[in-house]
């Protein structure tokens, strides 16, 4: 019974290791971490901008829209750099 349980645990570890080595999963995890930190930073800056300046509310919306476009451009550059680095290795 215990040997079967150990075998199942070992098989699950192997499957999770294979899953984490998958390039699509790695990319998804990287993107999620990037969005979490970038999004938190942008929301903090937007909140400070909206509460500490006398700019109209629509300026905060414009800032958020610009940051959305910028984050996509930045992510594409990071992916491009990462893939060119992987090819060089």
Question: Domains in the chain: how many in total?
Answer: 1
For residue 4, tell me if it sits in a domain.
no
Is 22 exposed, middle or buried, given 0-12, 13-18 or 19+ CB atoms closer than 10 A? exposed
Q: What is the pLDDT of residue 62?
A: 93
With pLDDT > 70 as the criterion, what percentage of the chain qualifies? 78
Q: How confident is the model at residue 64 (pLDDT cuts 50, 70, 90)?
A: very high
For residue 48, tell me if it sits in a domain.
yes
Higher pLDDT, 11 or 35: 35
Average pLDDT of the residues in 21-39: 86
pLDDT at 26 exceeding the cut of 90: no
Average pLDDT of the residues in 43-72: 91
For residue 39, tell me if it sits in a domain.
yes
pTM comes to 0.63
For residue 17, tell me if it sits in a domain.
no
Residues found in the chain: 89
Average pLDDT of the residues in 37-52: 92
Domain that holds residue 81: 23-88
For residue 1, tell me if it sits in a domain.
no
What distance in Å separates the CA atoms of residue 77 and residue 63, rounded to the nearest whole number? 21
């Amino acid at each position: 019974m215990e040997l079967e349980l150990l075998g199942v645990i070992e098989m699950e570890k192997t499957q999770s290791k294979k899953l984490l080595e998958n390039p699509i999963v790695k990319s998804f995890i990287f993107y999620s971490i990037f969005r979490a930190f970038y999004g938190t930073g942008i929301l903090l800056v937007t909140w400070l901008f909206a509460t500490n300046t006398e700019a109209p509310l629509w300026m905060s919306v414009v800032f958020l829209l610009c940051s959305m476009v910028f984050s996509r451009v930045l992510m594409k550059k990071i992916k491009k750099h990462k893939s060119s680095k992987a090819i060089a290795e």
